[in-house]
Chains A and B, each alone.
Chain A
């Protein structure tokens, strides 16, 4: 299979490839499924998607639902931070905005002044509200960058928590408010999931949410992937790398910086809807939708790989699953007691971040890319260690 691939953009390439080779390579690189192995990978993922909820325990289904939600939010943040270069600590605020919008619109009319709207309505509304607020937050980004922008988004997070607490019609204040109980699209109820009435007993809420959330992970990943492999994506990356130069060559900073905030915030709000459906009861305080949650989204893209789509999803699964893995195997870890599990989880979390940043700043995706490049070089360069002697074109 390696023989069908073009050589990597190696610095030590001897002859510069001609124009047609470059064009062919570029066309292949922007394809969604550039090689048959991608199709096989997609088939495996699809099969896993369908089968996993049936074989996993409730606990692990729960963990994967949360990982999926984190992946959605992480994809939004990666678009903003990884591709557009706009660092943000405000993701949790958009999660909160999405969650409370969904709660207010979706909860029953006799519950804290809810409006009793169906899932599709409150999901779309939450996305639109997230996008609108993202537009407002994106405006300062035109004049700020780096740590200044981080501080603005951090401030926005605290302001959001405060506004939500005070806006009692929506949030019911510090008492908090429930999310809608049912999650239905047409005749499919995701809290009691069945396939065309073929099962004797429907699947539980965790399993139903798994199906729902991971469909949206796929949709979001496709959306982000399509943005970044097309003209807007290249513009975003130009803005990230040299915003002044990008503007000089005709890239609209307003359009792309603010646009990145709008799309990222809309995705964050969508993650918030699912987070609300997962946790089922929302409280507008820092413990629920605060800085810790924002940092968790950042950790996802750092561990998974800044500026990659699949890396974000992998990062979400790692960050989401790690605490439970530690918890489940804590009995086998020496000196670990019930009261020190959480501290140990924190240490592992911190070590993971530090080690990633020190050894592989591009995260899991970077490590995979490095591995692939090394493998290709070995097959390309005659006489190198491990070389088969074959050359590729």
Chain B
């Protein structure tokens, strides 16, 4: 083969390939997904709703992007992701048993593993996005941040399993609970008015990522509004030694520590504090808590005692045995569909998240449109997401501009032997600063 014939071959290949590029059939775009949206019969209310990816006219398929494995992912999966997805599943099991959404359309979940890593999370998204009508759950702030532009392009709505305040400003997301910023604001304010004061040394120990920064934002806002200065803000990389940071808290004589961590770091941080003989009032945000920390299986007695004596958790939700209708319904569903499920705040969150999705889908059915665009529009038609006391109601209004994120937090003390290890100190606690806080963006 001489060079001339080789050049001809190359030219031929290029022309052929260009032809395929121009006319080829393969297509993976959102616009194509939108094009696939068809009206099976009629788009009028009362008739069969519009179908689209993830809805074939009978079953609505929802995606769950959550860690199932990975170095950090496995820890998050075992203690947060798995119970949260179980919460989603049990809710939909109970709805499906009654015929499904609007009594007609059953819901199934498709799960993909993000390994709690943004890169893997994007691949998980691409793997399932063509199969689902919406994302029931996306766990992990960095994973969700990476996914946001794609959700917008693909017109997919998603339930964030992370509580950053900024989600409120994204029309594709439907957050359901009080944000990390507000949990921080309320947690510190509760301390100031219940045993502490703003003249005490108030500090922050936060992980060095977006979640940690959300907590620090809240602490700074509360400090500014309440008129004090944070004594020190210490940051750490997750799963690393925290001796230097805890020593710094001790050296600064911190009386209270806002603890913005995930449960992967809680035990190590508290055990370091015990080793350094450092005692303070720890105000942990909800992701730092795990019921098994004070379960009978926990062998470290000093750890349990320290938590009971020194830690509060600023969270959403109520005591597991609360008589509020939202929890009564949840416990009944557990008895029927997951009898071995132990009291777990992440399960409860997942259950309520599915309840929010259900309300949105009901509106979409009423509008006669279960396509992705229809579900997205339904978020703005839902008015207020209601949780029957399980969570504060969330006012959505007609656009992101009218959304008002709930401000109350529940402040829990740690009590071994009670369900979830949590006992309410103050329900629906809202500080003055929380009422004026606005999410950035």
Partner of A50, one of B20, B70, B74, B126: B20
Closest to B31 in A: A201
**A58–B22 CA distance with the chains assembled, in angstroms:** 18
Q: Are A43 and B210 in contact (CB under 8 A)?
A: no
Partner of A176, one of B7, B32, B145, B238: B145
Q: Are B69 and A47 in contact (CB under 8 A)?
A: no
Partner of A285, one of B3, B149, B237: B237
**Chain A interface residue count, Cβ-Cβ cutoff 8 angstroms:** 60
Q: Are A175 and B31 in contact (CB under 8 A)?
A: no
Q: Are A46 and B10 in contact (CB under 8 A)?
A: yes
Q: Are A202 and B18 in contact (CB under 8 A)?
A: no
- Comparing A14-22, A34-42, A231-239, the segment that makes contact with chain B is A34-42
Q: Are B1 and A46 in contact (CB under 8 A)?
A: no
- Comparing A83-91, A129-137, A204-212, the segment that makes contact with chain B is A204-212
Which residues, 167 to 190 on A, are CB-close (under 8 Å) to B? Answer: 173-176, 178, 181
A288 within 8 A of partner (CB) = yes
- Comparing B111-119, B329-337, B377-385, the segment that makes contact with chain A is B111-119
* B22 neighbours in A (Cβ, 8 Å): 195-196, 198-199
Q: Are A281 and B28 in contact (CB under 8 A)?
A: no
Q: Are A43 and B10 in contact (CB under 8 A)?
A: yes
A279 within 8 A of partner (CB) = yes
A103 within 8 A of partner (CB) = no
* B29 neighbours in A (Cβ, 8 Å): 192, 201-204, 207
* Interface residue range, chain B: 35 or more
* B146 neighbours in A (Cβ, 8 Å): 279-281
B366 within 8 A of partner (CB) = no
B9 within 8 A of partner (CB) = yes
Q: Are B28 and A203 in contact (CB under 8 A)?
A: yes
Closest to B77 in A: A339
For the complex formed, measure the closest distance between the CB of A283 and the CB atoms of chain B, giving whole angstroms: 6
* B3 neighbours in A (Cβ, 8 Å): 36, 39
B301 within 8 A of partner (CB) = no
Given contacts A174-B209, A176-B145, A342-B73, A55 and B21 within 8 Å (CB-CB)? no
Given contacts A54-B20, A63-B123, A205 and B13 within 8 Å (CB-CB)? no
B23 within 8 A of partner (CB) = yes
Partner of B10, one of A42, A196, A202: A42
B208 within 8 A of partner (CB) = yes
**A49–B29 CA distance with the chains assembled, in angstroms:** 19
Which residues, 139 to 168 on A, are CB-close (under 8 Å) to B? Answer: 165
Q: Are B237 and A205 in contact (CB under 8 A)?
A: no
Q: Are A204 and B210 in contact (CB under 8 A)?
A: no
Given contacts A39-B3, A62-B122, A279-B122, A285 and B23 within 8 Å (CB-CB)? no
Indicate with 1 or 0, residue by residue over A287-313, a CB within 8 angstroms of chain B CB atoms.
Answer: 110000000000000000000000000
Given contacts A51-B20, A201-B31, A342-B74, A173 and B26 within 8 Å (CB-CB)? no
Interface of B is mostly: helix
B16 within 8 A of partner (CB) = yes
Partner of A36, one of B1, B35, B111: B1
* A205 neighbours in B (Cβ, 8 Å): 150, 153
* B150 neighbours in A (Cβ, 8 Å): 205, 280
**A61–B126 CA distance with the chains assembled, in angstroms:** 9
**A174–B142 CA distance with the chains assembled, in angstroms:** 11
Which residues, 159 to 218 on B, are CB-close (under 8 Å) to A? Answer: 208-210, 212-214, 216
B251 within 8 A of partner (CB) = no
Of listed A42, A286, A342, residue having the most chain B CB within 10 A: A342
Which residues, 334 to 390 on A, are CB-close (under 8 Å) to B? Answer: 338-343
Closest to B29 in A: A204
Q: Are A206 and B126 in contact (CB under 8 A)?
A: yes
A44 within 8 A of partner (CB) = yes
Given contacts A43-B13, A341-B113, A287 and B123 within 8 Å (CB-CB)? no
**A25–B427 CA distance with the chains assembled, in angstroms:** 83
B127 within 8 A of partner (CB) = yes
Partner of B209, one of A181, A280, A283, A324: A283
Q: Are B148 and A281 in contact (CB under 8 A)?
A: yes
Q: Are B210 and A36 in contact (CB under 8 A)?
A: no
Q: Are B208 and A54 in contact (CB under 8 A)?
A: no
Q: Are B2 and A36 in contact (CB under 8 A)?
A: yes
**A90–B127 CA distance with the chains assembled, in angstroms:** 32
* A288 neighbours in B (Cβ, 8 Å): 118, 142
Chain A residues with CB under 8 Å of chain B are 36, 39-40, 42-44, 46-47, 49-51, 53-59, 61-63, 66, 165, 173-176, 178, 181, 191-192, 195-196, 198-199, 201-207, 278-281, 283, 285-288, 323-324, 327, 338-343
- Which 7 residue pairs of A and B lie closest in terms of their CB atoms, listed nearest first? A50-B17, A342-B69, A198-B22, A204-B29, A54-B24, A281-B145, A39-B6
Having A58-B126, A62-B123, one finds 7 other A-B pairs with CB under 8 Å, namely A199-B24, A203-B28, A205-B150, A207-B28, A283-B210, A287-B209, A340-B69
21 example contacts (A-B, Cβ-Cβ < 8 A) are as follows A40-B1, A43-B6, A43-B10, A43-B14, A47-B13, A47-B17, A50-B14, A51-B24, A54-B24, A58-B129, A59-B123, A174-B210, A176-B210, A199-B23, A204-B27, A204-B30, A278-B122, A283-B210, A324-B123, A338-B68, A340-B69
Chain B residues with CB under 8 Å of chain A are 1-3, 6-7, 9-10, 13-14, 16-18, 20-32, 35, 68-74, 77-78, 111, 113, 115, 117-120, 122-123, 126-127, 129-130, 142, 145-146, 148-150, 153, 208-210, 212-214, 216, 235, 237-238
